[in-house]
A and B are shown apart, each in its own frame.
Chain A
Amino acid sequence: MMKKLFVVFVLAATVSFGQLSGREIMMKVDAQPEPKSMIATTEMMLISVKRGRTKERLRRITRHQKNYQSSEFDSKSLVRFHHPADVKGTGFLMWEYRGDKDDDQWLFLPALGKVKRIAAREKGENFMGSDFSYEDMSGRDIDDDHFSLLGEEELNGVNCYKIEAVPIEGESSYKKRIVWVDPSRWLAIKVEYYDKKDRLLKIMNIDEFRKDGPYWTVLKMRMENVQDNHKTIMDISDVQYDSGIRDDYFTERFLMRVD
């Protein structure tokens, strides 16, 4: 499942152009080693242009995530908001399950001082007002889409596979996605999102990434909504893998504990 926030993994394999189907290519992107845990700081710059005036807003969060290999849980994560000041300390706890079971989610609002149980969000909703939707951030199961190889295309000097992904299972807010895959790293480095009327809605570009041990880490990505003239630049830093986060960190006790 391509559902790891901010991190794209790669399988270091040799590439033989022209012999793989769209699905086989996406399976290579998908079938990557998964860290047991991850901690990262993310900054999102939200940029809007209205009547020629540019407005920028900053969001900063830290995210702790633990992935499970053999458990009812797929992952648990705790997101803490640091910026802007009026939401500082807000915490978001999520337990993701294997199979079709809905996520469990809790929100801690320091101003109210209480933990609120919340329902899983609409997949098409924007994440923190950014141009990334919850669907973009969590990804989709590989069996939920039909993949067609459209051909090869050079992107930033790299000869990429160009693949069309059309939803066949599960809900999606898109009619289709066009994905550019770098075959030397098995990274999806550009994605175009089309709305239900098949009009181009958003373009996502990976601008910077690096390899940390067996894992590829995306350091910078851009998502541009071409219909709203709004874009989000996401920077990821202070990434730690497999640092051994305690299981009870992902509980109400730590959700309410603001440093």
Chain B
Amino acid sequence: MKKALLIPLLLMITISAAPRFNGFLQNWSAYNLNDDQNVFLLRNRLRLNTTLSGDWARGYGSVDFSDERQLTPALQEVNIRELYFDLYFEKFDLRVGKQQVIWGKADGVFINDIVNPLDLRYFLMQDFDDIRMGTNMLRAKGYVSGWGLEALFIPRFEPWKMAAPGSPWEFYRPDSMIVSLEPPPQMSIPEILLPVTFNWQSGNLPSPNLTNGEIGLKLSGFILGTDVSLLYLDAFQDNPVSQVTNIAVRIDSSSGTPVPQRAAMYLAPEYRRNNMYGFNFARPLGGTVVRGEIGYFNGYHFNRQPELTQEMIGQLQTGVLPEIANVVESDFLQAMVGADISGPFGSSLSVQYIHKQIMEYDPGIINNDEIETMITLMLSGTFWNEEGSARWLTLYDQNSESGLSRATFAYKLADAVLVETGVDILWGEAESFIGQFAGNDNAYLKIIYSF
């Protein structure tokens, strides 16, 4: 309660200006092109932003009031996107509260931009400021001789927000599956199959204490015409691994073969911690801006095919339930290099190449290749004195040969009224990140009134 009173009190003391409001009203309807052109999204949203500003302090709040009745399940929510308080000093700024922190240079993909969790309830269909979710944190930034040092402390981990079961944007998450337990090659027993029950709800979030707090550092500056940043983040992985929580297998005494005891093993999401070291840069070369980012994760966690080891067989024979090794740890690299090429009449072409590599690759790792690459292309332009704009964006995952292509056209009916229409085409393998939504090709219309 004391904390709840502190911020308004500080605001009242420090800020004498009247609050200012702005925001928008948006209607977003989408029609599934693969399903008899059914309406599968009808979302109305009011965004209300409030700002209180003074010379040495500022308060800001952004709230979305959403109503979505077409999607399964229906969604009515009040979402506080950001709510923070700034204090400005001579060489030092402090921001406390729920906020978004953007660290990356990439557009449309998240390489080093991983401070905030993602809202993937509409997959990548939302605007990126809607996909990135605000997080409660303390953020301090100091400035000396053109350099800025930013420090973050996030006391409570928050995971990604996923679409609910039944949603067309629900990630494929089986209730159960059969996995093979592979005995070591030197054992003469056959591979056995175990039915697996997933318990998605029982994943334990790290408890909110100081030890589980996340820490970030960013040093940024300007050298030889180039914007550069060095990054460090000690945090939990936003995408959990599925840890075996219970398994019951016994060795058949007559055959010496392991058999499922309870015909199930249980997997639950678990959040593991790692360190990320990153580097960003951007610089113009003539009419082109070259930019890139590299993130090196020390101790990234992946799911692998469960495996029986010699030791585990021994444990089974003594009646002890073994820990199945279905999570492996490896260093992991993500990198992006891109170029924004300016064209005539307000047009531009952006190209990005993304490379991901598991440094100590284990062939048993599920859903990840050792090296994965992606290409993005974005062609955009404005016309009619910026009354109209058009954009074509494509993400293509080379490994799974899956992709997303979006073409949009927007027209300003008036200063305050924008009408945007577009088409999303998705394709690729059903098991891939994008391809699993290949049935969700859609045409959409957004009407936005800004105030």
Contact = CB atoms under 8 A, between A and B. Distances in A.
A41 interface: no
B252 interface: no
A84 B342 contact: no
Given A102-B284, A125-B346, A248-B143, A259 B340 contact: no
25 contacts: A57-B414, A84-B450, A85-B22, A85-B451, A86-B450, A104-B284, A112-B129, A113-B102, A117-B289, A118-B284, A119-B284, A119-B286, A119-B289, A120-B284, A120-B287, A122-B344, A129-B382, A129-B386, A130-B385, A228-B385, A230-B385, A248-B143, A253-B93, A253-B143, A259-B53
A122 B102 contact: no
Contacts of A257: 58, 88
Nearest to B145: A248
B385 A46 contact: yes
Given A85-B451, A86-B450, A253-B93, A125 B22 contact: no
A57 B412 contact: yes
B220 to A, nearest CB: 8
B153 interface: no
Given A113-B129, A126-B346, A129-B387, A58 B289 contact: no
Interface string A56-86: 0110000000000000000000000001111
B128 interface: yes
A202 B288 CA distance: 29
B166 interface: no
B435 to A, nearest CB: 27
B210 interface: no
B225 interface: yes
B116 to A, nearest CB: 10
A13 interface: no
Secondary structure type dominating chain B contacts: strand
Interface of B: 22, 24, 51, 53, 58, 88, 93, 100, 102, 104, 127-129, 132, 141, 143, 146, 148, 220, 225, 227, 282-284, 286-289, 291, 340, 342, 344-346, 382, 384-387, 412, 414-416, 418, 448, 450-451
Contacts of A46: 385
Q: Which 6 A-B pairs have the closest CB atoms?
A: A129-B386, A85-B450, A117-B282, A84-B415, A114-B102, A86-B450
Contacts of A83: 415
A252 B24 contact: no
A248 B144 CA distance: 10
Given A85-B450, A88-B22, A111-B129, A121 B342 contact: yes
Contacts of B220: 252
Nearest to B100: A113
Contacts of A128: 386
B342 A122 contact: yes
Interface residues of A, number: 40
A251 interface: yes
Given A57-B414, A119-B340, A252-B220, 17 more contacts: A57-B415, A58-B415, A84-B415, A85-B415, A111-B129, A112-B102, A117-B282, A117-B289, A122-B342, A126-B385, A129-B385, A129-B386, A131-B385, A251-B146, A253-B148, A259-B51, A259-B58
Interface string A15-54: 0000000000000000000000000000000101000000
B24 A85 contact: yes
Contact of B287 (A122, A228, A230, A259): A122
A54 to B, nearest CB: 13
B277 to A, nearest CB: 20
Interface of A: 46, 48, 55, 57-58, 83-86, 88, 102, 104-105, 111-114, 116-122, 124-126, 128-131, 228, 230, 248, 251-253, 257-259
Contacts of A88: 22
A230 B386 CA distance: 12
Contacts of B143: 248, 251, 253
Contacts of A120: 284, 287
Contact of B342 (A85, A119, A230, A251): A119
Contacts of B384: 48
Contacts of B340: 118-119
Contacts of A228: 385
Given A84-B416, A119-B289, A112 B128 contact: yes
A116 B283 CA distance: 10
A57 B227 CA distance: 35
Given A122-B344, A126-B386, A230-B385, A117 B450 contact: no
A148 B41 CA distance: 64
Given A111-B127, A253-B93, A117 B283 contact: yes
Nearest to B346: A125
Contacts of A116: 282
Contact of B289 (A112, A113, A118): A118
Contacts of B288: 119
Contact of A86 (B24, B104, B141): B24
Nearest to A88: B22
Contacts of B283: 117
A117 B348 CA distance: 14
Contacts of A230: 385
Contact of A104 (B51, B88, B93, B225): B225
A211 to B, nearest CB: 32
A258 B86 CA distance: 11
Nearest to A57: B415
B287 A125 contact: no
A251 B146 CA distance: 8
Residue among B24, B127, B148, B386 facing the most chain A CB atoms (10 A cut-off): B386
Nearest to A106: B227
Nearest to A83: B415
Contacts of B104: 114
Nearest to B102: A114
B385 A117 contact: no
B98 to A, nearest CB: 13
A86 B418 contact: yes
A18 to B, nearest CB: 42
Nearest to B285: A119
A252 B149 CA distance: 13
Contacts of A122: 287, 342, 344
